[in-house]
């Protein structure tokens, strides 16, 4: 018999109450509103800036230190993030660092192993509190301490901006339903999807050491956070969608802010390291295919695959080391490394082709 969770008397009624109210009021309002265009514009505008406050601020800046931000940008992100009503940046980061450190274990606050809905929102509604841990660096920042002390007030002021627009346009009710209520529920559940769906549905191109998945469908809803397999592998990278075509509006925002001088030292994982991880996963999948093939040919192919993998992996590793060390002769040896890489790559492609054809 499992124990009944004891509910947090603030979070549980807030999360359930806002959801029930939104389900009851929003569909009716959509059909009867006289000014839906402006209401939707305000609601999605708020959803976007507050969502970016969470992803660029709470997540990529404070939890993972993937870049450095000016004082003004930190203040702005803290004010916007507070309106997500997902706790202060300090507490959010503490939980999130625990999630990364102990992912999929009992010490992970939103472990997917306890079920999809537990990871999605039950953990927030339980009374079990997680003391601050592993955020000593953040506790030195007076801005973060200020936001932690006044988090709800700051969040309420920002979240109520649509009500000001409602008063000015004599449409308080419409902006309450769409800009405040609907926006809060949307912000909550799209963020929660990263802890639930992005640990449940999708592919694992970089690592299968944890349950995190890349999910392209979640990325536009969550400002790029859907590429969660990449993120768990390299949480210190300011990007989640690493390829240029992968939707990651937080990454694009940070690039823009770095041009403006408000963000700097954007940390990136070297491309060869990403290639090596992908290669290892690909080799694993090909081996699994070979396991189903007839022993004789499969054994020979397995040997060829192992050799091609190890040659390409080494070529990528030395390419990376060479690029990082940048000795006097690095340019000349770069040419050699590139040639080596090309040969290893074509051997790998040939071995991969044969395995795919056989199994």
Residues in contact with Zn ion by the rule CB under 5 A: 212, 235
Least CB distance to Zn ion at residue 225 (A): 8
Q: Dihedral through CA 198, CA 17, CA 128, CA 122, nearest 10?
A: -30
Least CB distance to Zn ion at residue 77 (A): 15
- CB–CB of 130/95 below 8 Å? yes
- Closest by CA position to 66, among listed 333, 283, 257, 277: 257
Least CB distance to Zn ion at residue 137 (A): 16
Least CB distance to Zn ion at residue 340 (A): 35
Q: What is the CA radius of gyration of the chain?
A: 24
Burial of 69 (0-12, 13-18, 19+ CB in 10 A): buried
Identify which of residues 114 and 304 has a Cβ nearer to Zn ion in the complex: 114
Least CB distance to Zn ion at residue 207 (A): 12
- Closest by CA position to 55, among listed 86, 11, 16: 86
- CB–CB of 212/231 below 8 Å? yes
Identify which of residues 189 and 352 has a Cβ nearer to Zn ion in the complex: 189
Distance (Å, whole) CA 114 – CA 102: 14
What is the CB neighbour count within 10 angstroms for residue 42?
21
Distance (Å, whole) CA 131 – CA 140: 17
Distance (Å, whole) CA 280 – CA 212: 17
Tokens of 80: 């916007």
Least CB distance to Zn ion at residue 232 (A): 6
Identify which of residues 25 and 253 has a Cβ nearer to Zn ion in the complex: 253
Identify which of residues 240 and 322 has a Cβ nearer to Zn ion in the complex: 240
- CB under 8 Å to 27, separation ≥6 — which residues? none
Least CB distance to Zn ion at residue 349 (A): 33
Phi, psi angles (nearest 5°) of residue 262: -90, -20
Identify which of residues 100 and 352 has a Cβ nearer to Zn ion in the complex: 100
Identify which of residues 155 and 235 has a Cβ nearer to Zn ion in the complex: 235
Identify which of residues 113 and 349 has a Cβ nearer to Zn ion in the complex: 113
Place of tokens 């841990």: 133
């Amino acid at each position: 018999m499992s124990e009944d969770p004891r509910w947090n008397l603030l979070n549980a009624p807030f999360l359930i109450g806002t959801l029930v109210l939104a389900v009851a009021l929003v569909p009716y309002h959509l059909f009867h509103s006289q000014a839906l265009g402006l209401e939707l514009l305000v609601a999605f505008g708020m959803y976007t800036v507050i969502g970016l406050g969470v992803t660029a601020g709470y997540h990529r800046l404070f939890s993972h230190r993937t870049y450095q931000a000016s004082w003004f940008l930190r203040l702005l992100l803290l004010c916007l993030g507070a309106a997500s009503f997902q706790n202060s940046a300090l507490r959010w980061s503490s939980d999130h660092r625990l999630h990364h450190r102990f992912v999929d274990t009992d010490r992970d606050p939103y472990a997917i192993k306890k079920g999809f809905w537990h990871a999605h929102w039950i953990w927030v509604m339980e009374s079990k509190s997680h003391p601050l841990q592993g955020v000593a660096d953040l506790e030195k920042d007076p801005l973060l301490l200020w936001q932690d002390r006044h988090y709800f007030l700051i969040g309420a002021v920002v979240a109520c901006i649509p009500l000001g627009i409602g008063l000015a346009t004599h449409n308080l009710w419409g902006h309450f339903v769409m800009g405040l209520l609907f926006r809060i529920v949307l912000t909550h559940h799209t963020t929660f999807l990263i802890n639930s769906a992005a640990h449940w549905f999708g592919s694992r191109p970089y690592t299968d050491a944890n349950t995190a998945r890349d999910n392209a469908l979640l990325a536009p809803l969550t400002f790029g956070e859907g590429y969660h397999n990449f993120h768990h592998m390299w949480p210190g990278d300011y990007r989640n969608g690493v390829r240029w075509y992968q939707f990651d509006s937080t990454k694009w925002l940070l690039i823009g802010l770095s041009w403006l001088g408000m963000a700097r030292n954007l940390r990136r994982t070297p491309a060869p390291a990403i290639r090596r991880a992908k290669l290892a996963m690909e080799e694993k999948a090909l081996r699994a295919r070979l396991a189903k093939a007839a022993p004789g040919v499969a054994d020979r192919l397995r040997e060829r695959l192992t050799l091609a993998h190890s040659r390409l992996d080494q070529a990528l590793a030395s390419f990376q080391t060479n690029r990082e060390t940048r000795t006097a002769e690095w340019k000349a040896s770069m040419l050699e490394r590139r040639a080596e890489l090309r040969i290893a790559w074509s051997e790998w492609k040939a071995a991969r082709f044969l395995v795919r054809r056989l199994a």
